[in-house]
Amino acid sequence: MNKTDGEKSGVSRRTFLSSTAVAGTAAIGAGLLVADAVSSTAEAAPMSEEQIAALPRVTQEMVAPPFLPKHDQIAKGGPKVVEVRFVIEEKIMVLDDDGAEIWALTFNGSVPGPMIVVHQDDYVELTLVNPDTNVMEHNIDFHASTGALGGGGLTHVSPGEECVLRFKATKAGIFIYHCAPGGVMIPYHVTHGMNGAIMVLPRDGLKGKEGEPLKYDKAFFIGEQDYYLAKDEDDEYLTYETAGEDYADSLAVMSTLTPSHIVFNGAVGALTGDNSLKASVGDAVLMIHAQANRDTRPHLIGGHGEYVWSTGSFTDAPQTGLETWFIAGGAAGAALYTFKQPGVYAYVNHNLIEAVVKGATAIFEVDGEWNDDLMKQVKKPTAIG
Ligand SMILES: [Cu+2]
């Protein structure tokens, strides 16, 4: 793959930063790095347990996607310990208008799980709860973290157990998290909904190619999910009494690599109709897209990716002016677009079969004033004559 401009400029930037890395957060605080292009690759100096204990602690209230928890785009003050709580819920979810259902495996009851938002060098302290009403063992692997299989090795919880994991968010970007209990259970849990994302913002916020500050008025978290439901001899989707009972049937369908459903936010129609995403002309909207298992290619029909972090890394400069962008399976990325016309926009996986037949479509409803300069219907469809 060819290097993007952002990657190229990132190299010289890393070289520059390597000599200043020891200064860590002090340098960032002093503004030495702020003027220089994108965001910091410098890592803050390690803290002792006593220093971490002395940091301010905040509790982040989780909200269900597509919404994000309350957060500042530019960090106020120094690093914090951000406490979050995930309760694992095994539950039946209906996936489409025909009533296809799955025993979904979820963090906090939603597919995808809730988005966490912190700043680079904050500490995330997750309490992971597996109530005794569940039947399966679970854990969590944070792609944003360093060590122990992304935390997966330290967070195995059986029904009736809970654990606490703390990790330092050293990399700025958007990263997925997912359950990864081991072996075939890893794709089984991920394709039953057990994934989500964390956004680690640069402490001084998002930036464009020249280091100019970028802000969003609204942000939405779109989690794309592939499901692999099995059917009976009559071509009807099978149903089950308990979570995990579909294991063998599901594995057979998973092995075909052909999903029965590809949807946004858990089910067909989760982000359309009454659930459409709302914005106004002039709103800069950050569209965050995660896919824990399978490649995808978001496209906003009628708009553009004005700034796109396709890989999710905020260390690299965003690409600009894209029609369609790529999100690799196992990653999350984002596109920033300021709406210029009112109306209905479909935000799709631009494999249009996956968008329309399988379900990977969201709708933006945008209000505001029409701009004839950008588009005008010069002649309505009429008989040729
Ligand atoms: Cu799990």
pLDDT, one tens digit per residue, over 84-113 is 999 999 999 999 999 999 999 999 999 999
Range 54-60 average pLDDT: 98
Q: Where are the alpha helices (DSSP H) in 91-161?
A: none
Asked whether residue 111 is assigned to any structural domain, the reply reads no
The per-residue pLDDT for range 35-49, each reduced to its tens digit, is: 344 445 677 889 999
The residue to which tokens 């942000």 are assigned: 219
* Complete DSSP assignment for 332-367: EEEEEEE--S-EEEEEEESSHIIIIII--EEEEEEE
CA 105 / ligand 1 centre spacing (Å): 6
- Residue 19, pLDDT above cutoff 70: no
CA 336 / ligand 1 centre spacing (Å): 32
Secondary structure (3-state) at 160: coil
- Residue 301, pLDDT above cutoff 60: yes
Give the total number of structural domains in the chain: 2
Query: How far is 310 from 174, CA to CA, in rounded Å?
Result: 10
CA 158 / ligand 1 centre spacing (Å): 10
CA 99 / ligand 1 centre spacing (Å): 24
* Complete DSSP assignment for 183-233: TTHHHHHHTTT-EEEEEEE-TT-EE-TTS-EE--SEEEEEEEEEE---B-T
* Average pLDDT of the residues of the chain: 91
- Residue 16, pLDDT above cutoff 70: no
Asked whether residue 103 is assigned to any structural domain, the reply reads no
Kindly report which listed range (39-53, 146-160, 256-270, 347-361) carries the lowest average pLDDT score.
Answer: 39-53
- Residue 21, pLDDT above cutoff 80: no
Asked whether residue 157 is assigned to any structural domain, the reply reads no
Secondary structure (3-state) at 61: coil
Catalytic positions: 138, 141, 143, 178-179, 189, 194, 299, 323-324, 350
Query: How far is 128 from 296, CA to CA, in rounded Å?
Result: 29
CA 298 / ligand 1 centre spacing (Å): 27
pLDDT band at 31 (very low <50, low <70, confident <90, very high): very low
- DSSP code of residue 37: S
Print the domain residue range for 309: 218-231+257-367
Asked whether residue 174 is assigned to any structural domain, the reply reads no
CA 181 / ligand 1 centre spacing (Å): 6
CA 104 / ligand 1 centre spacing (Å): 10
Asked whether residue 146 is assigned to any structural domain, the reply reads no
CA 100 / ligand 1 centre spacing (Å): 21
Asked whether residue 17 is assigned to any structural domain, the reply reads yes
- CA–CA distance from 257 to each of 226, 229, 246, 247, 296 (Å)? 10, 12, 17, 15, 14
Range 367-379 average pLDDT: 98
Q: 189, 156 in Cβ contact below 8 A? A: no
- Residue 2, pLDDT above cutoff 90: no
The CATH number that applies at residue 300 is 2.60.40.420
CA 239 / ligand 1 centre spacing (Å): 20
Query: How far is 274 from 276, CA to CA, in rounded Å?
Result: 6
Asked whether residue 44 is assigned to any structural domain, the reply reads no
Give the pLDDT of residue 9.
38
Asked whether residue 56 is assigned to any structural domain, the reply reads no
